[in-house]
Structure 1
Amino acid sequence: MAVGLESPEKYQNSQGFCFLWKSLFMENYVVYINYSEKFDKYYIGQTQDFPSRIILHNQGLVKSTSPYVPWTNVLLIEKSSRSEAMILEKKLKNLNRVRLIAFIEKYK
């Protein structure tokens, strides 16, 4: 299942979304693709608590992404276990930019 979110404001400032997120996804993991428009850079990660994770990225508290803030989410893909999420994350990180963009467009 792929879930696309247009802007971080939807989950950073909305209590309703955070409640919805926890009720739908907290037992599962998600692989996420974030995009920094300012630097034209993609970041791929996996987590069980995406709303908290993107806030950390946008506050500059994640060392590898702090130089490229702000981040916007372009794709979320739900996985039923951490091992499945890690496998997909690794595959996505091995794609070149053209193939990554094609993947995003296909599953948006």
Structure 2
Amino acid sequence: MQVFYIYILYSSSSDRYYVGYTSDFRKRLLEHNDTSKGKSSFTRRNGPWELKCVLDCGQSESEAIKIERWIKNQKSKNLIKKIIAGIPLYGPVANLVRVSI
């Protein structure tokens, strides 16, 4: 069974965060740091990226998408920093389990 994750990347050179979902966060990190043309323009322009946090969303891709959108819709760098720090939160991220990276 496939497990889906929410991952948070950080680029110190641009002081930006990126939130995404995937079933293979290590592969996605490599893809985000690939500067080849045709890759995601946001991450290509703003890298290099480091993996800051991974959250287990279980086997539901639709749940992972819902949580990713919820985090992005908050438009809050402070929320992302709290997630990374492991501070107890509310909403759809409240019960997610951190994954060792």
TM over 0.5: yes
SS in 2 for 1:55: helix
Aligned residue number for residue 20 of structure 1: none
Runs of 4+ displaced beyond 4 Å: none
Deviations 1:50-78 (A, max 9, x none): 12111110012322210011100110011
Aligned Cα RMSD in Å?
Answer: 1.6
TM-score by length of 2: 0.74
Aligned match of 1:66: 44
Identical aligned residues as a percent? 31
Q: Find the aligned partners of 2:24 and 2:81 in 1 and give their Cα distance.
A: 24
Which stretches in structure 2 are left out of the alignment for 5+ residues? 88-97
1:88 aligns with 2:63: no
Q: Which residue of 2 aligns with 1:106?
A: 86
- Match of 2:6, as an amino acid? V
Instruction: Give the count of matched residue pairs.
Output: 83
Aligned equivalent of 2:6: 31
Greater share of helix? 1
TM-score scaled by structure 1? Answer: 0.69
